Structure 1
Amino acid sequence: MTEAAERFFESLPARAPDVLGGLTDGTLQIDLGTDHQTEHWLVRMRPGSVQVSRERGPADAIWYSSAALFDRLISGEAQSVAAVLRNESTFSGNVVLFLAFRRFFPNPPGTRDPRETARRTAGRSV
């Protein structure tokens, strides 16, 4: 496990109030593979809160990714949904949990919010 991934998981409880809302409620098991080893993370998500542990357990969904891909996800260099669609990672179970968890990943470098761009453009034409 990389140090960046460790820091990422440690940061989740503090970031949860800003990231999670709505109906998010369930447990996501994240399996990160390196060579012939798999590290497990259990992420219990509720509206506004997250509990993280380093164990396997009953989960509503399981997401498998290589540790290398996960490092690219936490740096914004890759996108989780695109990785699943390209079969670079796999997912089973409650898809809402996966979609909620991906909100913890940063946007790609250089990404701009289209709403902010439109506001700036509208402000110039007034």
Structure 2
Amino acid sequence: MGEAIEQFFASLPARAPAVLRSPIRGHLQLDLTTENRTEHWYLELAPGTVRVTREQLPADAVFTVSADLFEELITGREQGMAAVLRNEATFSGNVVLFLVFRRFFPDPPGVRDPRETAREHVRRSG
């Protein structure tokens, strides 16, 4: 497993208060595959907090993706929903957990919030 993936999971508890603001609770299992091997990550999501373990526990939802594609997701070079729609990743269970979890993925490089772009335009025009 790549160092970027380890760092991503290690960063989740500190980032959770800013990312997990909705009242969603649940258990999400991430299965990262490499050839014939699967590594499991288990996340317990709650408002403002996430607990990350490597245990295999009952989950409300399971997200399965190759480790290579997951590295693309955590660097913003790929989008999670697009990967599922292309059938490069699978998701089963409570879809809301996946929608909440993907907020931890960064925006693609060079993407800007359109509201900030509009504010800059107003400042330059006015």
- What is the TM-score normalised by the length of structure 1? 0.97
Structure 1, unaligned runs of 5 or more = none
Matching residue of 2:42: 42
Q: Which amino acid aligns with 2:9?
A: F
Q: What are the residue-to-residue correspondences of 1:8-19 with 2, within 5 Å? A: 8-19=8-19
Give the 5 Å matches for 1:75-90: 75-90=75-90
Question: Any idea what SS the aligned residue of 1:102 has?
Answer: helix
Letter in 1 for 2:62: I
Q: CA deviation at 1:33?
A: 0.2
- Tell me the matched-pair count: 126
- The SS at the match of 2:77 is coil
Structure 2: 5+ residue runs without aligned partners?
Answer: none
TM-score, normalising length: structure 2: 0.97
Q: Give the 5 Å matches for 1:36-75.
A: 36-75=36-75
% identity of equivalent residues: 63
Q: CA deviation at 1:123?
A: 2.1
| RMSD (Å) for aligned C-alpha atoms | 0.7
* Counterpart in the other structure of 1:106: 106
